[in-house]
Amino acid sequence: MGKRDGIGIGLLGFGVIGGAVARVLTQRAEVLAHEVGCPVRLRKVLEKDTSKATASRMDPGLFTTDAAEVLGDPQVDIVVEALGGENPAYDFIKDALGAGKYVVTCNKEVMAKHGPEFASLAGERAVDILYEASVGGGIPLIAPFKQALLANEISAIHAIINGTTNYILTRMASEGMDFSTALGEAQRLGYAEPDPTFDIEAIDPCYKLTILAMLAFHTLVRPEDVYHEGISRLSSRDFRYARELGYEIKLLAIAKEKDGSIEVRVHPVFLPEDLLLAKVDGVYNAVQVEGDLVGRVLFYGQGAGPAATCSAVFADIIDVGRRINLGVGLSHELKLDASKKLKSISEIETRYYLRMSTVDRPGVLAKISRILGDLGISISSVIQKESDVSADAAEIVLMTYPAVESAMREAMSEIERLDVVREISNFVRVED
């Protein structure tokens, strides 16, 4: 059934991911040829570091330090971008699509920032850009939105899509570690970078959620539209209260659509402990999708690592390769509907967990309750503990019923002004 005698791959970047992709392309060449319908060969590799070419034991003639030699090679049909980061990946992808080449990328940042532009450029040139590896490693997450779930109106995505923070939170929950100790452990084990900002401040999951939300809701989302809060404010006390109240604490990426409005946010949440998502521990990722027909489905697996990423890149190469071989171009065109409204964080409605340090005197809770009540916020449960008798200090923990965030913010600033309240130690949103 093949129309072609071969398909050529141009690889951008020969680091950990790129090197693994090159190896798998060689090792599994037979599977690839069978699935695509013709042989698929690596034609050119862009790598600035010439020592990597030597160390690879691959044909040195494949390597170049000049991107134009890959992007301009007529034997290259598919450009696999494994550089990461916004630049120069952005330019290279634009050039590749502009030259009528298909693109497969594992780059969340460039897809979150420029995905819609790439998609329309690809559409103009009747090619395509695939990015299964950009979210959740080898877990099939992008493909389901393009086919398996298309019958559904998606109402919500709840995702654990940052392994570093999930590892840290798991250690804090299971061993009562404080944040900095758990972070240190994660760094020692190579799960967190020396500079962990990108993960612990939830920038990485913002990019991934941007990509998933566009697919699920067919609306334009930019990374800066995603509200995000990291995990460094969480203390071991919060984990103890969470357990007592029947919750786990997770850094959740949340996207919801209701009545034509979209909300997209990444922050720590209290998640009921009996949900399967709450049981996803360690460096694993999981994405839960709710559709009106399918109900609640969940996809789980390793969210990172060169082998898992390769698995996804390979799948995308097969998809694109089949289409090139059959001469059919684009299969799923993402139409973005600009009419949907994006909610700001102050407009969301959710439940809250609030932990406060107060003086140890009667009537404190009444004052707090009054402020909340006046703003229409009801309390669903309270834990009050004498934390330090000698210091005249008590700790009050509240869970609220659903409230609008702006009202909750106002309540918190009024509560902080009460002379009986020393501080609001933490507040965490609750997902049910």
* Residues recognised as catalytic: 208
- Work out whether 48 is an interface residue with a copy of itself (CB under 8 A): no
Beta carbon nearer to a copy of itself, 315 or 399: 315
- Work out whether 26 is an interface residue with a copy of itself (CB under 8 A): no
Alpha-carbon distance of 67 to 351, in angstroms, equals: 51
Q: Which stretch binds a copy of itself (CB under 8 A): 8-16, 130-138, 397-405, 422-430?
A: 130-138
DSSP string, 131-156: -GGGSSTTS--HHHHHTTTTTSPEEE
DSSP 37: S
Diameter of the chain measured on Cα atoms:
83
- Work out whether 280 is an interface residue with a copy of itself (CB under 8 A): yes
Beta carbon nearer to a copy of itself, 48 or 296: 296
Please count the residues of this chain forming the interface with a copy of itself, following the rule CB under 8 A. Answer: 53
- Work out whether 129 is an interface residue with a copy of itself (CB under 8 A): no
Region for 322 from its dihedrals, namely left if φ exceeds 0, alpha if ψ lies in -120 to 50, beta otherwise: alpha
Q: Which stretch binds a copy of itself (CB under 8 A): 134-142, 241-249, 412-420, 421-429?
A: 134-142
Alpha-carbon distance of 104 to 79, in angstroms, equals: 6
Alpha-carbon distance of 410 to 94, in angstroms, equals: 46
Nearest to 348 by CA among 416, 419, 430: 430
Tokens of 66: 């000049």
The b/e string for 298-326 (b: 16+ C-beta within 10 A; e otherwise) is eebbbbbbbebbbbbbbbbbbbbbbbbbe
Q: What is the 3-state secondary structure (H, E, C) of 76-92?
A: CCEEEECCCCCCCHHHH
Which x/- pattern, by CB under 8 A, does the window 333-362 give for a copy of itself?
Answer: --x---------------------------
- For residue 399, the minimal CB distance to a copy of itself (Å) is 24
Q: Which stretch binds a copy of itself (CB under 8 A): 206-214, 241-249, 276-284, 421-429?
A: 276-284
- For residue 324, the minimal CB distance to a copy of itself (Å) is 12
Q: Which of 238, 319, 405, 431 binds a copy of itself (CB under 8 A)?
A: 319
- For residue 314, the minimal CB distance to a copy of itself (Å) is 3
- Work out whether 389 is an interface residue with a copy of itself (CB under 8 A): no
Look at strands 227-228 and 261-272 and give their pairing. parallel
Alpha-carbon distance of 132 to 110, in angstroms, equals: 13
Give the amino acid at 20: A
- Work out whether 139 is an interface residue with a copy of itself (CB under 8 A): yes
- Work out whether 1 is an interface residue with a copy of itself (CB under 8 A): yes
Cα 74–chain centre separation: 35
Residues paired with 407 in a beta bridge: none
- For residue 213, the minimal CB distance to a copy of itself (Å) is 18
Torsion of CA 243, 244, 246, 247, to 10 degrees: -40
Nearest to 335 by CA among 116, 131, 127: 116
Cα 26–chain centre separation: 30
Q: Which of 128, 132, 204, 263 binds a copy of itself (CB under 8 A)?
A: 132
Q: Which stretch binds a copy of itself (CB under 8 A): 27-35, 98-106, 107-115, 250-258?
A: 27-35
Q: Which of 2, 6, 72, 140 binds a copy of itself (CB under 8 A)?
A: 140
- Work out whether 314 is an interface residue with a copy of itself (CB under 8 A): yes
- For residue 128, the minimal CB distance to a copy of itself (Å) is 12
Q: Which stretch binds a copy of itself (CB under 8 A): 29-37, 56-64, 245-253, 341-349?
A: 29-37
Torsion of CA 209, 212, 214, 217, to 10 degrees: -110
Q: Which stretch binds a copy of itself (CB under 8 A): 107-115, 137-145, 247-255, 345-353?
A: 137-145
Nearest to 194 by CA among 204, 184, 202: 184
- For residue 2, the minimal CB distance to a copy of itself (Å) is 12
- Work out whether 279 is an interface residue with a copy of itself (CB under 8 A): yes
Cα 414–chain centre separation: 34
Which x/- pattern, by CB under 8 A, does the window 283-312 give for a copy of itself?
Answer: -x------xxxxxxxxxxxx--x-xx-xxx
Beta carbon nearer to a copy of itself, 45 or 139: 139
Placement of tokens 């990172």 in the chain: 304
Alpha-carbon distance of 230 to 217, in angstroms, equals: 25
Beta carbon nearer to a copy of itself, 282 or 376: 282
For the chain, the C-alpha Rg in angstroms (whole number) is 25
- Work out whether 33 is an interface residue with a copy of itself (CB under 8 A): no
Task: State the residues that interact with a copy of itself by CB under 8 A.
Answer: 1, 24, 28, 31, 34-35, 132, 137-140, 143-144, 147-152, 276, 279-280, 284, 291-302, 305, 307-308, 310-312, 314-315, 318-319, 322, 326, 328-332, 335
